Structure 1
């Protein structure tokens, strides 16, 4: 008997419907776009705040790892 028991591996292959895959892709794309917009807004807000406090733009670039 083997010391490694592989019962956790699926025995049957699941057929993934193309329609479901397309819906998942569309949802992931919409989620990514929303996240990108939020990230852009937050980075812009942080940069404006730093510049308003008198930070050097090069320092802001370095600190934000741009």
Structure 2
């Protein structure tokens, strides 16, 4: 049951130190994801080349 009659609490601002920790964690996560994506795409391209696919076909399939 919605409680629309109750006032909503005001959002608390995120302390700068916490915001910095969040940004640093997100940066590490993004770097890890980028490395994994690069590895996966390189393995897929290598596998496709071994199977005889043309580089331009691989690029098209990978939407590069």
Q: TM-score, normalised by structure 2?
A: 0.86
Aligned residue-pair number: 63
Structure 1 counterpart SS, 2:9: coil
Structure 2 counterpart SS, 1:15: coil
CA distance in 2, matches of 1:7, 1:60: 58
Pair 1:11–1:42, CA change in 2 (3 A): same
Structure 1 unpaired stretches of 5+: none
Pair 1:25–1:9, CA change in 2 (3 A): farther
The runs of 4+ residues in structure 1 deviating greater than 6 Å are: none
Which of 24, 27, 30 does residue 25 from structure 2 map onto?
A: 27
What does residue 60 of structure 2 align with?
62
Alignment of 1:1-66 (within 5 A): 6=4, 10-66=8-64
Structure 2 counterpart SS, 1:65: coil
